[in-house]
């Protein structure tokens, strides 16, 4: 349904302010308290509300948006661990506007977050800024987004023209939102009712992302040169979904296009069973076993209907985490990749343009073969020097998060990695750089192609010389003189030191050398960020040294290491790592997302427990109720033997006593 030409508040409907004072939220929900923006400051409102807070993992076990609405904001807890939003709280509160502070919707790409708001009655979302994927999901759903000044006017009784809410968008996005979202837009586009603007840019030097988008333009859009902000339709080469999201994709496609819907290019699209494989073994998720089973059944039906690549679990063992397996098996150099997960950007290590989208957008593109893109801005990181021993790409990203991301210089931009220092970084470590672009609230990350990439493709993909030559032709590098709205920044890898992100957010970076002694209860190595080949070499380096010194994991500490894929598992077994890890008292887990999303061994069980983890994000409750520090694989392994957060140094176990 098209949006009305003017936006006004509905008499009798309410506005919900998500304040930093959680008691004020409770009073609005349960006592009828009414607040006005005129009486508040933006600083009074919650910042960085992440999608895990809006719809925690267990809420996503319901693929029907109407059911999701019942537990909107189930992940917002007070200091005592009590839910602020009880079941049906938002649904029954008669709210049509929801208000927060900076960076609304950070974290996972899960479209369930804005769906839960919409189906609970919210039609206007107010914030100072929005995380890029979350903003796109709102647009796809036809949700109006505005700022605090507009809210003041609405609460004063003013009617505001819809164009004031849409004027800052590109012409295509404006049409899409005004038509009521992606599916109504696609229908009118297919019926020839929409006249989209044509490109008329002169030849210009372009960034890597711009060149890849220009290469993938759907025919008939004008000259093949793009600039940031251009609204274009582009062909999609590859993509995937997982059992957390496929059910919605199947549900939406059936509703929109009928039972006999078709998809394009099935060979380069896939489904994965990786996220919820171990959820039934986690006490708080066991009661959702039937719902998880339904999600898996829906994914199986989708796969059989579409014949996309099938990476389902066999005998209870997953082929691996979607992002790792996709780069191992079918993401090619120069591809444009879309998938229903925020860490899709990991594919950027292979000189591909890859990022996450919501289930609505994915359903649209897998059916049509193309999607809408607003050409993003870019920020360039020229890497020089070489990382010191004991430093990994994870530390580089924690540094970037603590500086550029914290200043929002990476927000909604493509993070481009190049420079002479890139040649010193392996493909697995480049995957870490690209993977964690989403933690920076960036659009994605992409690395230049070089000999390291070609050698990796020959080894991991067994690519032939002919295939390598073909991929060389598809590779992109930035043009000389390309413009970077986020600037060009030099990072001297030699200067990077071991870091952690303190509990609560990946941007809370701190040098381990400046960290007070932090005793740990759990050390976890795994996830798409840290379950790769190189990561297992890192774990093994530390464990071998510790075991050689007669040590085991420190008393009172549990360490878990989880494979990122079957290929990684086979490699580790060839290297003898499982026996080595077992000798140290480490639990090894088959491939899957596991503790990273709170669904497997390695999650904390109480809020007092402290975890040092190699995963990519540490939002409250993400991996259990305890305190979680993000760190590199080397730091995680070293800390397991000392019993406290410790940076690894070669030979350290001959010098550092184990802490009980």
φ/ψ of residue 327, rounded to 5: -70, -30
CA distance 490 to 186: 42
Instruction: With a cut of 60, say whether residue 174 has pLDDT above it.
Output: yes
Instruction: Express each pLDDT in 392-441 by its tens digit.
Output: 999 999 999 999 999 999 999 999 999 999 999 999 999 999 999 999 99
Look at residue 655 in the predicted model and tell me its pLDDT.
57
Q: How many domains is the chain built from? A: 4
CA distance 600 to 591: 11
Q: What is the CATH number of the domain that holds 614?
A: 3.30.499.10
What percent of the chain shows pLDDT beyond 90? 84
The pLDDT confidence band at residue 110, using thresholds 50, 70 and 90, is: confident
The answer to which of 570-574, 646-650, 656-660 has the lowest mean pLDDT is 656-660
CA distance 125 to 121: 11
For residue 542, the 8-state DSSP code is H
122 belongs to a structural domain: yes
Q: Which two tokens stand for residue 141?
A: 């759903």
Instruction: With a cut of 70, say whether residue 657 has pLDDT above it.
Output: no
Measured CA distances, 408 to 291, 441, 605 (Å):
38, 8, 33
Nearest to 468 by CA among 351, 354, 568, 383: 351
The pLDDT confidence band at residue 656, using thresholds 50, 70 and 90, is: low
Q: Which of 472, 495, 518 is the last residue of a domain?
A: 495
Q: Which of 441, 460, 495 is the last residue of a domain?
A: 495
Query: What value does the mean pLDDT take over residues 569-594?
Result: 97
Q: Where are the alpha helices (DSSP H) in 494-632?
A: 533-548, 566-575, 577-584
Instruction: With a cut of 70, say whether residue 146 has pLDDT above it.
Output: yes
Query: What value does the mean pLDDT take over residues 18-39?
Result: 98
Look at residue 644 in the predicted model and tell me its pLDDT.
98
Nearest to 486 by CA among 413, 421, 536: 413
Nearest to 234 by CA among 102, 156, 100, 335: 335
Look at residue 660 in the predicted model and tell me its pLDDT.
44
398 belongs to a structural domain: yes
Scored b (16 or more CB within 10 A) or e, 561-590 reads bbbbbbbbbebbeeeebeebbeebbbebbb
The pLDDT confidence band at residue 61, using thresholds 50, 70 and 90, is: confident
428 with 511, same domain? no
117 with 246, same domain? no
193 belongs to a structural domain: no
35 with 157, same domain? yes
Nearest to 539 by CA among 557, 514, 563, 574: 563
Query: What value does the mean pLDDT take over residues 358-362?
Result: 89
The Cα angle at residue 565 between residues 563 and 569, in degrees rounded to 5: 60
Query: What value does the mean pLDDT take over residues 113-127?
Result: 96
413 with 436, same domain? yes
For the whole model, what pTM was predicted?
A: 0.85
Structural domain that includes position 248 = 208-219+228-374
33 belongs to a structural domain: yes
Look at residue 1 in the predicted model and tell me its pLDDT.
79
618 with 526, same domain? yes
CA distance 559 to 587: 6
Query: What value does the mean pLDDT take over residues 119-141?
Result: 94
72 belongs to a structural domain: yes
Q: Which two tokens stand for residue 400?
A: 């970037």
Nearest to 414 by CA among 517, 336, 513, 507: 336
Furthest-apart CA pair in the chain: how many Å?
Answer: 74
Residue recorded with tokens 């709205």: 485
Q: What is the mean pLDDT of the chain?
A: 94
Instruction: Express each pLDDT in 309-342 by its tens digit.
Output: 999 999 999 999 999 999 999 999 999 999 999 9
Nearest to 351 by CA among 471, 481, 520: 471
Look at residue 358 in the predicted model and tell me its pLDDT.
85
For residue 3, the 8-state DSSP code is P
Measured CA distances, 250 to 62, 139, 245, 322, 386 (Å):
13, 20, 9, 18, 46
Q: What is the CATH number of the domain that holds 446?
A: 3.40.1060.10
Look at residue 451 in the predicted model and tell me its pLDDT.
97
φ/ψ of residue 99, rounded to 5: -130, 130
CA distance 280 to 264: 34
Instruction: With a cut of 60, say whether residue 591 has pLDDT above it.
Output: yes
Look at residue 167 in the predicted model and tell me its pLDDT.
93
Residue recorded with tokens 């590199």: 632
Measured CA distances, 490 to 399, 402, 588, 633 (Å):
13, 15, 38, 25
638 with 609, same domain? yes
Scored b (16 or more CB within 10 A) or e, 238-247 reads bbbbbbbbbb
Q: Is 415 left (phi over 0), alpha (psi -120 to 50) or beta?
A: beta
Instruction: With a cut of 50, say whether residue 454 has pLDDT above it.
Output: yes
Q: Which two tokens stand for residue 96?
A: 């049509």
32 with 83, same domain? yes
Measured CA distances, 221 to 214, 225, 363, 376, 613 (Å):
10, 10, 23, 18, 46
Q: What is the CATH number of the domain that holds 48?
A: 3.20.19.10
Cα R_g (the chain), whole angstroms:
24
Q: In the chain, count H helices and then E strands.
A: 22, 24
57 with 125, same domain? yes
487 with 509, same domain? no
Please check whether residue 345 is in contact with residue 435, taking contact to mean a CB–CB distance below 8 angstroms: yes
418 with 565, same domain? no
490 with 506, same domain? no
The pLDDT confidence band at residue 288, using thresholds 50, 70 and 90, is: confident
Instruction: With a cut of 50, say whether residue 512 has pLDDT above it.
Output: yes
Helix axis angle, 112-119 relative to 132-140, nearest 10°? 50
Residue recorded with tokens 């008939």: 220
CA distance 195 to 139: 19
Look at residue 599 in the predicted model and tell me its pLDDT.
84
CA distance 328 to 332: 9
The pLDDT confidence band at residue 190, using thresholds 50, 70 and 90, is: confident
Q: Which two tokens stand for residue 352?
A: 């591909």
The neighbouring-strand residues paired with 17 are 99
The pLDDT confidence band at residue 659, using thresholds 50, 70 and 90, is: low
370 belongs to a structural domain: yes
CA distance 502 to 499: 9
φ/ψ of residue 325, rounded to 5: -65, -40
CA distance 526 to 78: 29
353 belongs to a structural domain: yes
Cα end-to-end span (Å), the chain: 63
Q: Which two tokens stand for residue 170?
A: 């590109």
194 belongs to a structural domain: no
Q: Where are the alpha helices (DSSP H) in 258-392?
A: 289-306, 322-329, 359-368
Instruction: With a cut of 90, say whether residue 192 has pLDDT above it.
Output: no
71 with 153, same domain? yes
């Amino acid at each position: 349904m098209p949006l009305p030409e003017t936006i006004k508040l509905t008499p009798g409907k309410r506005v919900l302010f998500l304040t930093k004072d959680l008691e004020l939220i409770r009073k609005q929900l349960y006592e009828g308290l009414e607040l006005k923006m005129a009486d508040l400051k933006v600083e009074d409102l919650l910042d960085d509300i992440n999608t895990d807070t809006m719809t925690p993992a267990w809420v996503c076990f319901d693929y029907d948006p109407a059911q999701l609405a019942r537990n909107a904001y189930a992940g917002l807890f007070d200091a005592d661990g009590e839910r602020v939003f009880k079941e049906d709280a938002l649904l029954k509160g008669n709210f049509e506007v929801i208000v927060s502070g900076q960076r609304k919707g950070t974290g996972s790409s899960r479209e369930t977050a804005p769906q839960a708001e919409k189906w609970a009655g919210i039609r206007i979302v107010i914030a100072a800024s929005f995380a890029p994927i979350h903003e796109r999901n709102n647009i796809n759903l036809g949700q109006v987004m505005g700022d605090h000044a507009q809210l003041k006017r609405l609460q004063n009784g003013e009617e505001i023209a819809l164009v004031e809410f849409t004027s800052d968008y590109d012409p295509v996005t404006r049409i899409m939102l005004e038509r009521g979202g992606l599916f109504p837009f696609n229908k009118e586009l297919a019926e020839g009712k929409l006249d989209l603007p044509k490109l008329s840019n002169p030849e210009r030097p372009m960034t890597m992302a711009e060149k890849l988008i220009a290469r993938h333009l759907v025919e008939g859009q004008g000259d093949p040169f793009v600039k940031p902000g251009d609204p274009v339709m582009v062909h999609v080469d590859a993509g995937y979904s997982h059992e957390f999201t496929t059910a919605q994709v199947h549900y939406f496609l059936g509703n929109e296009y009928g039972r006999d819907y078709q998809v394009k290019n099935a060979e380069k699209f896939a489904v994965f069973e990786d996220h919820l494989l171990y959820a039934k073994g986690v006490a708080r998720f066991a009661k959702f076993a039937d719902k998880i089973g339904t999600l898996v059944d829906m994914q199986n039906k989708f796969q059989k209907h579409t014949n996309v690549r099938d990476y389902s679990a066999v005998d209870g063992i997953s082929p691996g985490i979607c992002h790792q397996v996709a780069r191992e098996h079918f993401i090619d150099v120069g591809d444009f990749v879309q998938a229903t997960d925020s860490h899709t950007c990991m594919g950027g290590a292979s000189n591909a343009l890859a990022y996450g989208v919501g289930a609505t957008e994915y359903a649209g593109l897998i059916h049509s073969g193309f999607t809408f893109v607003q050409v993003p801005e870019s920020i360039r990181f020229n890497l020089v020097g070489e990382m010191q021993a004991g430093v990994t790409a994870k530390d580089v990203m924690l540094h970037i998060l603590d500086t550029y991301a914290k200043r929002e210089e990476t927000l909604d931009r493509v993070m481009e990695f190049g420079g002479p220092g890139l040649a010193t970084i392996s493909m697995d470590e480049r995957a870490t750089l690209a993977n964690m672009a989403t933690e920076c609230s960036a659009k994605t990350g992409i690395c230049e192609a070089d000999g390291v990439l070609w050698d990796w493709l020959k080894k991991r993909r067994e690519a032939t010389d002919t295939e390598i030559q073909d991929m060389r032709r598809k590779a992109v590098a930035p043009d000389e003189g390309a413009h970077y709205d986020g600037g060009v920044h030099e990072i001297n890898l030699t200067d990077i030191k071991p870091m952690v992100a303190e509990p609560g957010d990946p941007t809370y970076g701190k040098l381990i050398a400046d960290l007070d002694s932090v005793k740990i209860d759990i050390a976890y190595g795994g996830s798409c960020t840290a379950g790769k080949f190189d990561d297992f070499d890192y774990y093994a380096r530390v464990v071998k040294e510790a075991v050689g010194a007669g040590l085991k994991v420190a008393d009172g500490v549990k360490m878990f290491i989880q494979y990122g894929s079957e290929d990684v598992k086979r490699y580790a077994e060839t290297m003898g790592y499982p026996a080595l890890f077992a000798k140290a008292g480490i639990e090894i887990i088959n491939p899957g997302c596991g503790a990273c999303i709170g669904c497997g061994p390695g999650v904390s069980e109480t809020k007092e427990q402290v975890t040092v983890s190699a995963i990519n994000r540490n939002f409250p409750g993400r991996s259990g109720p305890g305190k979680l520090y993000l760190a590199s694989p080397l730091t995680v392994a070293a800390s397991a033997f000392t019993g406290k957060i410790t940076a690894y140094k070669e030979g350290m176990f001959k010098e550092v006593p184990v802490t009980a």
